[in-house]
């Protein structure tokens, strides 16, 4: 059995999407197809990208396969920052959309997409969202922005349009505006950040408009993890399920790779579309790790035209699941994003990521909100401060939380209770897409 092929012509080559319409392609067919697409991708980079023409000048694309992918150099975010224009592989008139991605220096870098790239993006989101049960009968409320040079909202819109679903683009409107939309337009599915969906549901509860009685059957969660290392739902996922009486799904992507990893209806990891990307997990030294091992996510997005990338280091920490999914697919899955590489903390010889502490705080009923502040204690150790706001006065709350954290991660952490209004000022910054729960002050020392 061969995967069906659909091609789109451009000025230099024919981009091919090997559409795995059936879910049961064997691992060997997937590997063979990816090897062919990888060779084409490397050659396209050599022919059209000024940056890769320099970097790959001694590489023969015909010699590259999944087995020797490690022979190719990594691409860092700083490379895109420092040589931004050199990554552009098409003429200016081919660019149809320009977005900005946050850079490591704080200066956003431009990412440019062609019409083919947007078609690729739409295909990726279409296949991903379909796998989570979205159909043309759905009415979908988008609570993520479509503007301000971000790609996420546009990506979901394009994918949903391909599916044939009705889309309500309310964006990052106020809670009151979303409530009005929900009451008037009756969406069956909402896409948004988990913590915002929780606030929206609680607001509806507070005005006696019970979210669990609405016809909303799915929540697609973006920007924040909803599962732990073992793929079990975090406390916030359980809260959302109960609050909305809806199934909760996770999706992950990055602006640079425009490649989505979305959970299917089995809710056990984000599925890779094997015709669109190759994924590796690496350790701090750049060594490729086996399935199940925790490390940095590296993506080689296939069939990208405007700004193609090779072995792009995302900075996100996760792991690969390479066993067949219960849904029937044999392609690999990506586990939950458990942290950012730059957010890694070392305390008393123990490596900790913020999400491990966030997960504990989410489980405590009397904690209403929280954030972490990180200071450099020495060259080998950091000092972590946890700041929490309480739903009610609890005697010795700091000690209770500190003991819970130590029992789970075997490190004693300083916990401070502060006023909720003050905490909100620190966490919910004006103009920020997501709550800021990780404040890194290590560079100040």
Backbone angles phi, psi at 303, to 5 degrees: 65, 25
Instruction: CATH 3.40.50.12780 in the chain: give the residue spans.
Output: 1-340
Q: How far apart are CA 163 and CA 173, in angstroms?
A: 25
pTM for the full model?
Answer: 0.84
**Does the domain formed by 344-444 have CATH 3.30.300.30?**
yes
> What would the two tokens of residue 118 be?
């947007």
CA 229, 230, 233, 236: dihedral to nearest 10 degrees?
-20
The pLDDT of residue 431: 62
Q: How far apart are CA 444 and CA 199, in angstroms?
A: 34
Under a CB-based contact definition with an 8 Å cutoff, are residues 142 and 134 in contact?
no
Q: How far apart are CA 254 and CA 276, in angstroms?
A: 13
The pLDDT of residue 103: 58
User: Within a 13 Å sphere around the CA of 241, how many CA atoms are in the beta-carbon half?
Assistant: 12
The pLDDT of residue 145: 80
Q: Right CATH number for 1-340 from 3.40.50.12780, 3.40.50.300, 3.30.200.20, 3.20.20.70?
A: 3.40.50.12780
Instruction: CATH 3.30.300.30 in the chain: give the residue spans.
Output: 344-444
The pLDDT of residue 17: 52
Tokens 């401070």 sit on residue:
416
Tokens 């977005």 sit on residue:
99
Specify whether the backbone of 319 is left (phi greater than 0), alpha (psi in -120 to 50) or beta: beta
The pLDDT of residue 136: 97
DSSP 204: H
Per-residue pLDDT of the chain (445 residues; tens, 9 = 90+): 444 434 444 444 444 454 554 455 788 888 998 999 999 999 999 999 999 999 999 899 999 999 999 999 999 999 999 999 999 999 999 999 999 886 554 567 899 999 999 999 999 999 999 999 999 999 999 998 887 778 889 999 999 999 999 999 998 878 999 999 999 999 999 999 998 899 899 999 988 788 989 999 999 999 888 998 899 998 889 999 999 999 999 999 988 998 999 999 999 999 999 999 999 999 999 999 999 999 999 999 998 999 999 999 999 999 999 999 999 888 899 999 988 888 889 887 788 888 889 989 988 989 999 999 999 888 788 999 999 999 999 999 999 999 999 998 888 999 999 999 999 999 988 766 678 899 999 887 6
């Amino acid at each position: 059995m061969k995967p069906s092929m659909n091609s789109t012509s451009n000025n230099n080559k024919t981009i091919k999407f090997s559409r795995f319409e059936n879910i049961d392609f064997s691992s060997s067919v997937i590997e063979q197809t990816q090897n062919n697409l990888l060779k084409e991708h490397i050659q396209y980079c050599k022919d059209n990208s000024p940056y890769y023409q320099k970097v790959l000048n001694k590489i023969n694309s015909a010699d590259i396969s999944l087995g020797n992918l490690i022979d190719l150099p990594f691409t860092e975010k700083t490379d895109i920052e420092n040589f931004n224009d050199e990554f552009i592989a098409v003429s200016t008139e081919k660019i149809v959309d320009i977005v900005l991605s946050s850079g490591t220096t704080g200066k956003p870098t431009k990412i440019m997409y062609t019409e083919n790239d947007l078609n690729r993006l739409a295909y990726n989101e279409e296949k991903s969202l379909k796998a989570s049960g979205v159909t043309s009968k759905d009415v979908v409320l988008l609570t993520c922005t479509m503007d301000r040079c971000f790609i996420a909202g546009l990506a979901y819109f394009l994918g949903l349009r391909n599916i044939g679903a009705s889309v309500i683009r309310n964006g990052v409107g106020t809670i009151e505006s979303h409530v009005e939309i929900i009451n008037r337009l009756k969406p069956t599915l909402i896409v948004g950040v988990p913590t915002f969906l929780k606030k929206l549901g609680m607001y509806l509860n507070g005005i006696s408009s019970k979210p669990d009685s609405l016809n909303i059957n799915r929540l697609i969660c973006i920007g924040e993890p909803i599962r732990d290392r073992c793929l079990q739902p975090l406390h916030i996922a359980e809260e959302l399920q109960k609050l909305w009486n809806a199934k909760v799904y996770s999706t992950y992507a990055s602006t640079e790779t425009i490649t989505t990893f979305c959970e299917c209806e089995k809710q056990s990891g984000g599925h890779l579309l094997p015709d669109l990307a190759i994924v590796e997990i690496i350790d701090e030294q750049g060594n490729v790790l086996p399935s199940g091992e925790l490390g940095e996510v590296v993506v080689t997005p296939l069939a990208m035209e405007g700004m193609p990338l090779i072995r792009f280091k995302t900075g996100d920490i996760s792991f690969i699941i390479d066993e067949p999914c219960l849904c029937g697919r044999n392609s690999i899955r990506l586990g939950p994003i458990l942290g950012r590489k730059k957010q890694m903390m070392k305390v008393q010889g123990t490596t900790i990521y913020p999400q491990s502490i966030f997960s504990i705080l989410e489980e405590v009923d009397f904690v209403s909100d929280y954030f972490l502040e990180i200071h450099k204690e020495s060259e080998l150790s950091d000092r972590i401060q946890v700041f929490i706001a309480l739903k009610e006065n609890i005697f010795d709350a700091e000690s209770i939380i500190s003991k819970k954290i130590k029992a789970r991660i075997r490190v004693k952490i300083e916990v401070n209770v502060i006023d909720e209004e003050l905490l909100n000022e620190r966490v919910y910054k004006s103009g920020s897409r997501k709550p800021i729960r990780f404040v890194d002050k290590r560079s100040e020392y």
